Amino acid sequence: MSAAALRTYLTAARDLIPFASGPSAHAESLRGVIIANLFFEDSTRTRLSFSLAAKRLGADTIDLTGAGSSASKGETLRDTARNIEAMGVDAIVVRTKASGGAALVADSVGCPVINAGDGKHEHPTQGLLDVLTFAEAKGRLDTFDLSGLSLAIVGDIISSRVARSAIAALTTLGCRVICVGPPTMAPKGLTCLGCEVEHDFDRILRDVDGVMMLRIQFERHGESPAPAAPAPSGLTGSLREFRAFHALTQARARLLKPGAVIMHPGPVNRGLELDHAVADSGASVILRQVSRGVAVRMAVFKALVRAG
């Protein structure tokens, strides 16, 4: 997406912030519209904030999750989407485990399709809300020009659709993005996305205007069944090493520049990539990211979905 297109969405989302938390003049914008939320992978924030954004605009939503759908009987994603469109919905929001799943759905139906996260590929509305939150914290809401600012994205970058969308949006708007992690999670090849790569978190801590921590995405590491996130007290081997070198601990947070913000797309594995006290500190904008997600998704619906 071009800088101009990003700014159009971000400006619309910024202007909707006051209306994202209560009834407003926008409550009739999408009256009569029905939006289908298809979530074939677990979600708390994205699924509920798309639903809430739709309701704030007067639209109705219907929900389908992987568990309980006819996908278990062998129905393809393409057929599922075409059947739901045939019922007369006005737009489809879709999250898939497979990279490219949203594009497949978009190629299969005629109504607007919004990607709510496809595998390791992209999470576009997360990228928009991350930029909106960072720009707000840095006083750049007027132009969304992020030049002169830098953000470190830290952790399991290689598995992260959040990182890919954030890197695309942030660098397009002029921000310096440094991906930080062990070589297995932040390989040098990521520089092809327009970011820098650094393996030593401590080397860049004092320089950046913000840090976005990422969860280790155990479910995308190819093990079957995917292991659950371990209890912080029981970390061993490579996880213990990850925490030692790449977690944002209280000690590391104390070294950040004054005014640097701490971000995380959620869900947070407290005590692994992020200390409890850091997640809940004054520098944390994690819950503001969630709030801004509603405004972003309202802006996306208003841009893409037509009532009547």
Give the Cα separation of 248 and 250 in Å (integer). Answer: 7
Q: Name the residue nearer to ligand CP (CB basis): 47 or 297.
A: 47
Per-residue string for binding with ligand CP, 46-85, x by CB under 6 A? xx--------------------------------------
Catalytic residue among 8, 11, 26, 45, which?
A: 45
* 79: phi then psi, degrees, rounded to nearest 5: -65, -40
Q: Name the residue nearer to ligand CP (CB basis): 117 or 155.
A: 117
Q: Name the residue nearer to ligand CP (CB basis): 29 or 284.
A: 284
Q: Name the residue nearer to ligand CP (CB basis): 161 or 302.
A: 161
Catalytic residue among 95, 140, 264, 302, which?
A: 95
The two three-digit tokens of residue 178, written as one number? 């440094």
Of residues 300, 293, 308, 307, the one with CA closest to residue 113: 300
The two three-digit tokens of residue 79, written as one number? 């057929």
213 forms bridges with which residues in the sheet?
A: 154
Q: Interacting stretch for ligand CP, rule CB under 6 A, among 82-90, 100-108, 235-243, 264-272?
A: 264-272
With contacts defined by CB under 6 A, how many residues of the chain interact with ligand CP? 11
CA 179 to chain centre: 16
Q: Can you give the length of the chain in residues?
A: 308
Neighbours of 217 (CB within 10 A): 18
Residues 124-163 that bind ligand CP (CB under 6 A): 126
Q: Interacting stretch for ligand CP, rule CB under 6 A, among 29-37, 62-70, 173-181, 259-267?
A: 259-267
Is residue 123 flagged as an active site residue? Answer: yes
Shortest separation between residue 116's beta carbon and ligand CP, angstroms: 7
Query: Helix crossing, 124-137 with 45-56: angle to 10°?
Result: 80
Query: Helix crossing, 124-137 with 3-16: angle to 10°?
Result: 70
Is residue 73 flagged as an active site residue? Answer: yes
- Give the residue, chosen from 117, 119, 155, 271, that forms a contact with ligand CP under the rule CB under 6 A: 117
Give the Cα separation of 195 and 87 in Å (integer). Answer: 43
Catalytic residue among 123, 246, 264, 297, which?
A: 123
Give the Cα separation of 112 and 132 in Å (integer). Answer: 23
The two three-digit tokens of residue 289, written as one number? 């990211």
Shortest separation between residue 191's beta carbon and ligand CP, angstroms: 25
Residues 171-200 that bind ligand CP (CB under 6 A): none
Shortest separation between residue 55's beta carbon and ligand CP, angstroms: 17
Is residue 121 flagged as an active site residue? Answer: no
Which residues, at least 6 apart from 252, have a Cβ–Cβ distance to it below 8 Å? 201, 202, 205
**What is the radius of gyration, based on Cα positions, of the chain?**
19
Neighbours of 241 (CB within 10 A): 12
The answer to whether residue 265 forms part of the interface with ligand CP (CB under 6 A) is yes
60 forms bridges with which residues in the sheet?
A: 34
- Give the residue, chosen from 26, 45, 78, 288, that forms a contact with ligand CP under the rule CB under 6 A: 45
Shortest separation between residue 49's beta carbon and ligand CP, angstroms: 8
Q: Which stretches of the chain bind ligand CP, using CB under 6 A?
A: 43-47, 117, 123, 126, 265-267
Catalytic residues: 45-46, 73, 95, 123
